[in-house]
């Protein structure tokens, strides 16, 4: 094959010596000794290795219509089937990468939620301690004034300390009885203050719309009182819950929509 060797630099990764083939109308060169498998496409300002040409085409459209397949195959000196296979494998690689990106996004979202959970849990504990302290002060004041003292229904046991690691949260959460009923939540209305359920220490609503609910064991539930639909109904929605073995949180599970209308 007639021609000469020229320096080639496509990028920091792709460089070397090219065999320039003047018989190819000046726009195709070959890496090394001219093996057609290593041809390079040259425009006025850019060199394309075959894979670059395929990549460029893939960026434009990741599906390959027959006409474009034939064009690429002709240009690259490949069988149309090889071009099709390349696109197929390229789509598979893209999908894998996309899954990795999605996973990273979900993980950062999960970490953020976990952080929110921790701070809410800490705040919850502080408020409970404050309620107990104020209750004791009130009782002492009533004793001093000679007023009859209503017997407390029960002394809520102290909450365990807030979890610090994900594994701790699993254990810790399983120690809390989730027995606040939806009515309890709804009856707290717009007061916005933390409420201690009279059966125990499960507090749960700070007046916002996230709480624990017996209809959804293990769930953190959101109450949506007006979903914007014409029927005017609201609904409860399980935002996430611990899976069966309390090993991890899950936001979707088989067997239900996670919605309960009221």
Partner DNA sequence: TTGTGTTTTATTGCCTCC
Partner DNA sequence: GGAGGCAATAAAACACAA
Residues near DNA, by CB under 7 A: 51, 63-64, 66, 81-82, 84-89, 91-93, 95
Instruction: Select 87 or 242, whichever has its Cβ closest to DNA.
Output: 87
Q: Could you tell me the CA-to-CA distances from 69 to 79, 157, 243 in Å, in that order?
A: 9, 71, 48
Instruction: Select 66 or 146, whichever has its Cβ closest to DNA.
Output: 66
**Which DSSP helix (H) or strand (E) runs through 58?**
helix 50-60
Residue of 129, 122, 192 whose CA lies nearest to 163: 122
Q: Least distance from C-beta 34 to DNA, angstroms?
A: 17
> What are the tokens at 35?
């093996």
Q: Least distance from C-beta 29 to DNA, angstroms?
A: 19
Q: Least distance from C-beta 14 to DNA, angstroms?
A: 12
The 3-state DSSP class for residue 93 equals helix
Q: Least distance from C-beta 68 to DNA, angstroms?
A: 10
Residue of 57, 35, 54, 42 whose CA lies nearest to 10: 42
Helices (H), 146-221: 166-174, 182-187
Q: Least distance from C-beta 50 to DNA, angstroms?
A: 8
Count the residues in the chain: 262
Instruction: Select 92 or 138, whichever has its Cβ closest to DNA.
Output: 92
Instruction: Select 73 or 114, whichever has its Cβ closest to DNA.
Output: 73
Residue of 170, 168, 169, 179 whose CA lies nearest to 245: 170
Beta strand ranges found along 118-215 (DSSP E): 210-213
Q: Least distance from C-beta 92 to DNA, angstroms?
A: 5
Instruction: Select 72 or 221, whichever has its Cβ closest to DNA.
Output: 72
Helices (H), 146-196: 166-174, 182-187
Instruction: Select 31 or 186, whichever has its Cβ closest to DNA.
Output: 31
d(CA 89, CA 87): 5
Q: Least distance from C-beta 111 to DNA, angstroms?
A: 25
Instruction: Select 88 or 119, whichever has its Cβ closest to DNA.
Output: 88
d(CA 3, CA 124): 80
**Phi, psi angle pair for 132, to nearest 5°:** -60, -45
């Amino acid at each position: 094959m007639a021609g000469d060797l020229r320096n080639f630099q496509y990028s920091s990764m792709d460089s070397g010596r090219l065999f320039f083939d003047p018989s190819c109308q000046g726009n195709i060169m070959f890496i090394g000794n001219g093996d057609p498998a290593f041809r390079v496409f040259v425009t006025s300002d850019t060199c394309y290795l075959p894979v670059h040409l395929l990549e460029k085409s893939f960026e434009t459209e990741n599906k390959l219509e027959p006409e474009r397949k034939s064009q690429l195959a002709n240009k690259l000196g490949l069988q149309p089937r090889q071009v099709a296979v390349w696109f197929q494998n390229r789509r598979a690689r893209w999908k894998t990468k996309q899954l990795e990106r999605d996973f990273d996004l979900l993980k950062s979202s999960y970490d953020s939620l976990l952080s929110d959970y921790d701070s809410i849990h800490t705040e919850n504990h502080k408020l409970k301690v404050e309620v107990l302290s104020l209750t004791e002060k009130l009782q002492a004041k009533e004793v001093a004034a000679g007023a009859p003292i209503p017997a407390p229904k029960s002394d809520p046991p102290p909450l365990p300390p807030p979890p610090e690691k994900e594994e701790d949260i699993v254990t810790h959460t399983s120690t809390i009885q989730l027995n606040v009923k939806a009515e309890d939540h709804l009856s707290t209305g717009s007061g916005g203050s933390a409420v201690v359920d009279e059966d125990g220490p499960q507090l749960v609503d700070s007046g916002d719309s996230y709480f624990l609910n017996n209809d959804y064991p293990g769930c953190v539930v959101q109450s949506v009182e007006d979903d914007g639909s014409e029927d005017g109904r609201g609904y409860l929605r399980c935002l996430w819950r611990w899976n069966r073995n309390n090993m991890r949180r899950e936001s979707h599970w088989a067997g239900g929509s996670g919605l309960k209308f009221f």
